[in-house]
Structure 1
Amino acid sequence: MIAKSLLVLYFVIASAVSATQCLSRRCLADNLIDKQLYSAPQPPDCFINVNLTAIQYETLSFNLQTLQFSSHIKVYMEWTDPDLAWTDSQYNFTEVLLPFTYIWLPNLTVNNAIYTAVHPLSKDILVTRDGTVNYAIQMYITVVCDMNLFSYPFVEDTCIVAINGWNRSSCGVKLQYGKITTVGGQRGEWQTLDVNFCGGAQNYLQVTLYLNPFNALVSLVLPTALIMVVDLVSFALPLNGERNAFKIKLVFSFTMFLLILSKQVPQGGPCSPLIYYHFCFCLIVLVVSLLVSMMLSQLARTGSIWPGRPRKQSGSGSSMAQQDNAFHQNDTEINCSKVNSVNLMTEVTSIQKISSFVNNMDKEIMEKKRKQDYAKSWDNFCFITYLFLDIIYMLCVFAIFKTQQCSSNKLSF
């Protein structure tokens, strides 16, 4: 009778234990969800240590007009929540999956971001027996980066991505940064050279970016250089309207070129690009070259750079119209002398008049040639000056490019 009573008691206890013990991970997950642990863990020091075990960084784009820098970051993190732990005597499982909406999660922010979008990589969170939680998110962020564009298109500078916890007071989240890797760093025009963690008063990621200069060189620098070379070669054209028309076309072509490519040129920012001054210099030189060519054309035609009537030259008997009239008059007199058989003295006089007319024509031709030679000598001087100016300009640009430095405070946030 006693043995039978003990056997019944054993089965009652065993059934009660089996009714309270979970036999599946889903049962364990439901029990953890029923705890409703939506608030943050509250350790004695009031700080939750969140370990960012891995950070995967990728540069998406860089807007030169607004200096806005966009990137994609995957963050793998883990922390310990003691209220999510269990023992072997309670549950015979080492890990379990929980929906990410039923427990507390650290809220990562970017202090200097103007746009942030955070999405979980998975809707499930892995929780181990000791209460360690493993969670991963992906962040799409946009920050304003004061990139040093002084030497554009040869640009290599750093941008700041300040990833931090939601609270920086005496109670909150403390982040510990782990391994940082880059993805797709060599794709596109902007290349990611390196990503480093910098700690101290402010914790942030320092991203080193490099701009491939090929596109800007082909579309901005090379056309301006070729236009300047063409303007230099145009000094070989004669000093007439043909050269002036050609130089006017060059000025208009350069102006239209700047208007079309204005959207590709970066804005000033804290360090104004040197290419702005390059475009300004090229345009000024083209306009000055056109004005000098017009003045030299006036000098070759009239002997003076001032507009107005041509200057009368000493030794010339009369204008071209008067010489033509004299020629017709002499021709008439010669014909009349032949018809009327005038005396020899009249013929000698006519011959003298013809000789005088021919001498005046020679003087006019010599005077015209003298004007052209004088203008040509000034033209050669302007060509040499223009050539030396271009050479000195290139040397100055190279020296400024190598020696001048510009920096900005990227931690002013």
Structure 2
Amino acid sequence: MQISCRVKVNMEWIDQDLRWNENTSNASYVLLPVDKIWTPVLVLDNAIDVTMKPYTNDVLVSKYGNVDYALILYIAVGCDDISLFTYPFVNGDCCVAINGWSQRGCGLTVNPFTNISVINSIQGEWKTVNVTIPQETPENRTCLLVSLSISPFSAVVTLILPSVLIMLADLVTFSLPVQGGERNSLKVTLVLSFTMFLLILNDHLSSGGQCSPILHYHFCFCLVNLVLSMVVSIVLTRLTMDNRFLPSKNIKTPQTTASLGQDEADLGVITTTKSSDLLSEVASLQKIVNFLENIDQKEQVAKSNEAFVDRLDKICFCFFLFIDIIYVIIVIIVTNTGICKETKRNIWDNEDLLDDHENYTYYSSYYYY
């Protein structure tokens, strides 16, 4: 996490060497080249990169030695204190430590800012809410506390909403019949679509340092849920065809199946031949009855299988629905308890302390994000 900002600092100080009286000149103000007089240099304790430029090439000096000067700071500051655990619903504070230079009791002391305004506060999905100076800032230290937040609309539409819709579509597929394979093909399509979705967004997800965004765990849960639902659907489809999870090399149906083939052959013989005696007609009729009973028994076994699979299917639907509801409740609780927080780091350079308050710098700051 880094914040890049442009800060315009309007400074005013008194330089006794630049005073003049009416005998020297009647002018109240003069413009002097900025490189010909002394100008203060600011120190940023927690900056990663700093570029300082004068706002203009001239400074305004009054006859009393008051100097008006403007400085432009291009700053990059590390903001590890902001946690991305609840991304995209993130807000936090980042401190920009602007100080005067001091060493061994001698140097420059910066007074607190008197006027701070924010310009161009929106950059991408991040927004600068406010810039303040905390009251608990250590002595001789000035901290611009930048309050940041993320606009969640874009992330919700592109990240959260698609995953939620795919999970809802997976629940709706339980309304399709297990037989036929239409449900299995749709579930496989959902798994492949979600996998492609994750591959596309892999480079766009925030890492978050120590506290990885909960969005990563959300995607992991969705993928596992979809794959598990697909496997369950395939197993149920297998059970509708046979009462075994895995096919067997020697498939033996009940006695009905064993005798069914023989009865069919006998029935063919019966229909093509004519019996001359009553005994043979009774035997033929008995075989026809056995054949019809075997067919009826086979249909009953198939219906019993389908009824058992339908019960399992309803149980699986209730299970996945229960898991999804529990997951939503857990996510709401975890995001509201602040379970993952970044540790506060010391941003101040404790070696440079100044006890002498004779020289002061007064200025107002215009903050650009």
Report the Cα distance in structure 2 between the residues aligned to 1:71 and 1:411, rounded to whole angstroms. 20
How far has the Cα of 1:188 moved from its partner? 4.6
Alpha-carbon distance change, 310 to 120 in structure 1, aligned in 2, over 3 angstroms:
farther
- Gap regions ≥5 residues in structure 2: 348-369
Matched letter for residue 236 of structure 1: S
1:370 aligns with 2:310: no
Q: Which residue of 2 aligns with 1:334?
A: 271
Aligned pairs for 1:257-268 within 5 A: 257-268=197-208
Distance in 2, matches of 1:74 and 1:169, equals 29
Q: Could you tell me which residue of structure 2 aligns to residue 45 of structure 1?
A: none
Secondary structure of residue in 1 paired with 2:21: coil
Residue identity matched to 1:190: W
Tell whether the 8 Å contact from 2:266 to 2:287 is kept in structure 1 after alignment. no
Q: Which amino acid aligns with 1:360?
A: N
Per the alignment, residue 358 of structure 2 pairs with: none
The corresponding residue for 1:383 is 317
Aligned residue identity for 1:207: V
Q: What SS class does the counterpart of residue 177 from structure 1 fall into?
A: coil
Match of 2:47 among 102, 108, 113: 113
The residue type equivalent to 1:152 in the other structure is Y
Alignment of 1:1-16 (within 5 A): none
Matches within 5 A, 1:18-37: none
| Post-superposition offset of 1:411 | 3.7
- Correspondence for 1:345: 279
**1:191 equivalenced with 2:96 (yes/no):** no
Q: Residues 310 and 126 of structure 1: is their aligned pair in 2 closer, same or farther, counting only changes over 3 Å?
A: farther
1:305 to 238, 241, 245: 245
The verdict on how the C-alpha distance between 1:222 and 1:169 changes in structure 2, with shifts beyond 3 A counting, is farther
Measured against aligned partners, the alpha-carbon deviations of 1:262-285 in whole angstroms (never above 9, x if no partner) come to 222211313221212111111111
| 8 Å contact kept, 1:145–1:410 | no
Is 157-166 or 399-408 further displaced after alignment? 399-408
Aligned to 1:16: none
Counterpart in the other structure of 1:323: 260
Distance 1:410 1:168, change over 3 A: farther
Once residues 256 and 125 of structure 2 are traced to their aligned partners in structure 1, the CA distance between those partners, rounded to angstroms, is 73
**What is the Cα deviation at residue 248 of structure 1?**
1.4
Q: Which has the larger radius of gyration?
A: 1
Displacement of 1:113 in angstroms is 1.4
How many angstroms does 1:342 deviate by? 2.1
1:235 paired residue number: 174
CA deviation string 1:45-104 (max 9, x = no partner): xxxxxxxxxxxxxxxxxxxxxx12111111000112111111111111111001111111
Whether the aligned pair in 2 keeps the contact of 1:334 and 1:347 (CA below 8 Å) is no
For the Cα contact (< 8 Å) 1:302–1:310, is it kept in 2? Answer: no
What letter matches 2:138 in structure 1? G
Q: Is the 8 A contact 1:303 1:311 kept in 2?
A: no
Change (3 A) 1:354 1:116: same
Percent of pairs with identical residues: 40
C-alpha separation in 1, matches of 2:242 and 2:249: 8
- The residue aligned with 1:209 is 148
Output the TM-score relative to the length of structure 2.
0.87
Q: Which amino acid aligns with 1:200?
A: P
1:69 and 1:186 map into 2 onto residues whose CA distance is 12
**Are residues 1:294 and 2:234 paired?**
yes
The answer to whether the 8 A contact 2:256-2:297 is kept is no
Q: Name the aligned partner's letter for residue 332 of structure 1.
A: V
Q: Distance between the aligned counterparts of 1:168 and 1:216, measured in 2?
A: 47
Indicate yes or no: 2:73 matched with 1:144. no
Per-residue deviation at 1:247? 1.1
What are the Cα deviations for residues 31-56 of structure 1, in whole angstroms up to 9, with x where unaligned? xxxxxxxxxxxxxxxxxxxxxxxxxx
- Out of 161, 165, 178, which is 2:100 matched to? 165
Counterpart of 1:132? 66
Structure 2 residue corresponding to 1:275, chosen from 211, 215, 218: 215
Write the distance in 2 (CA, Å) between the matches of 1:95 and 1:111: 35
Q: CA deviation at 1:244?
A: 1.7
Mapping of residues 72-111 of structure 1, within 5 Å:
72-111=6-45
Q: Which residue of 2 aligns with 1:394?
A: 328
Q: Distance in 2 between matches of 1:151 and 1:310?
A: 56
Q: TM-score, normalised by structure 1?
A: 0.78
Contact 1:69 1:142 in 2 (8 A): yes
Measure the CA separation in 2 of the matches of 1:175 and 1:115.
21
Question: Residues 180-231 of structure 1, C-alpha deviation per residue, up to 9 Å, x if partnerless?
Answer: 1111235652221111113215431110011111001101111111010000
The superposition leaves residues 118-145 of structure 1 with CA deviations (integer Å, 9 ceiling, x where unpaired) of: 2221111111111121110111111111
Deviations 1:152-191 (A, max 9, x none): 1111100111112233541111111221111123565222
Counterpart AA for 1:331: G
Q: Equivalents in 1 of 2:268, 2:198: separation in Å?
A: 62
Task: Quote the residue 2:357 is aligned against.
Answer: none
Structure 1: where are the runs of 5+ without partners? Answer: 1-66
